[in-house]
Homo-oligomer: A and B are copies of this chain.
Amino acid sequence: MTFRPAADIGMTLAEVDTPCLVLDLDAFERNLDRLDASLAGRTVKVRPHAKSHKCPHIALRQMARGAVGVCCQKVSEAEAMVAGGVPDVLIANEVVGAAKLERLAVLARQARIRVCADNAANVRDLDAAARAAGVVLDVLVEVNVGANRCGVEPGEPVAALARAIAACGGLRFAGLQAYHGSAQHLRSVAERRDAIASAVAKVQSSKVALAAAGLPCDYVPGAGTGTYLYEAASGIYTELQPGSYIFMDADYARNDWTESGLPRFEHSLFVWTTVMSIQGSGQVVVDAGLKASSVDSGMPRVADIAGAEYVKASDEHGVIRLPAGVALALGEKLRLIPGHCDPTVNLYDWYVGVRDGRVAALWPITARGAVL
């Protein structure tokens, strides 16, 4: 509901009011470069996840560098991407309920849309919606490759659901969605590598079952920022779905990234905040609390001030403990690194893109709040 952009083009960063979501455009572009460089020589495609940025401006920049489209989690998110000019969206999630299925099928008239399923009743509903809209929908089977959230079990259950899809006049069996969500934040390289090895085995057994059912499968998307190099190296994944790599939040930064070949994505997304109260020495209150930075994956981190710690968030306030010898003045502004980028982005209506210390871009987050 905040239609007014959070800043004006050309302002210095110091002039930008707070709290707002600042994107360091150079760092963001270096992260795009790092992803590309890390995949040089591979045939695997990239389809970044738009649930992280919720912004067609960013999606189109990813596609300009070779991404084949984007992923979304929600139909309304996909609608925002298509409205913003993205021609190819994979909804890497199940879509349940008549209202959403109707919107999904109508959207498939305007853009290339694929969707996932993990349930035979849902497949029947997808078929009915596709027929009603006069489209043929591409449906992937989501495989539970280890996260134990959505998805059918690997092997024969995958083949059974694929057969059900293929038997529907309104649907086409389009491949296997094989994202291992709970592997992304395993802290050690070895844990993440092992988790993806296990996921790959589950995809393989599923492909064997599909082949036996006469349903060859040449489209296997999956992977996130924490693991994508392992999926890329597997030879079995055909598309990668990282989202957070463009921003690199505080929680992802707690992963061990030291393995050779792993790109060192840098923080590009910041919550810009002002010191609004000073309580004696050693502690200040800033104007960014729970409504400015999501704390589900830990508190935001204070950038630029070694030893400063954001220790407590309430709705509109954040308490920062300062190291000995550091003082901040009332009105001073500082950058916070969000704990978790996705739900933090979802609090804002605008990115304030900054380059060389000035506002150089204002990108609306048109899929903010797109939960349907």
Distance in angstroms between the alpha carbons of A96 and B316 in the assembled complex: 13
Q: A292 contacts the other chain (Cβ, under 8 Å)?
A: yes
Q: A45 contacts the other chain (Cβ, under 8 Å)?
A: no
Q: Is the CB of B291 within 8 A of A94?
A: no
Residues of chain B lying within 8 A (CB to CB) of residue A315: 51, 73, 342-343
Distance in angstroms between the alpha carbons of A343 and B344 in the assembled complex: 12
The stretch among A59-67, A209-217, A227-235, A277-285 that forms the contact with chain B is A277-285
Q: Using an 8 Å CB-CB cutoff, how does the interface string of A237-281 with B read, 1 for contact, 0 for none?
A: 000000000000000000000000000000000000011111100
For the complex, would chain A's binding face be called helix, strand, loop or mixed by DSSP majority?
loop
Contact A290/B343 with A149-B279, A279-B148, A330-B121 known, Cβ cut-off 8 Å: yes
Q: A127 contacts the other chain (Cβ, under 8 Å)?
A: no
Nearest B residue to A340 via CB reads B290
- Number of copies of chain A assembled together: 2
Residues of chain B lying within 8 A (CB to CB) of residue A314: 149, 181
Q: Is the CB of A276 within 8 A of B343?
A: no
Q: A122 contacts the other chain (Cβ, under 8 Å)?
A: yes
Q: Is the CB of A97 within 8 A of B274?
A: yes
Contact A97/B17 with A296-B295, A315-B73 known, Cβ cut-off 8 Å: yes
21 contacts between A and B (CB under 8 A): A1-B364, A1-B366, A15-B99, A20-B372, A73-B316, A94-B276, A94-B277, A118-B277, A119-B277, A119-B330, A121-B330, A148-B279, A149-B279, A149-B314, A149-B317, A150-B276, A290-B294, A291-B371, A292-B371, A346-B347, A347-B371
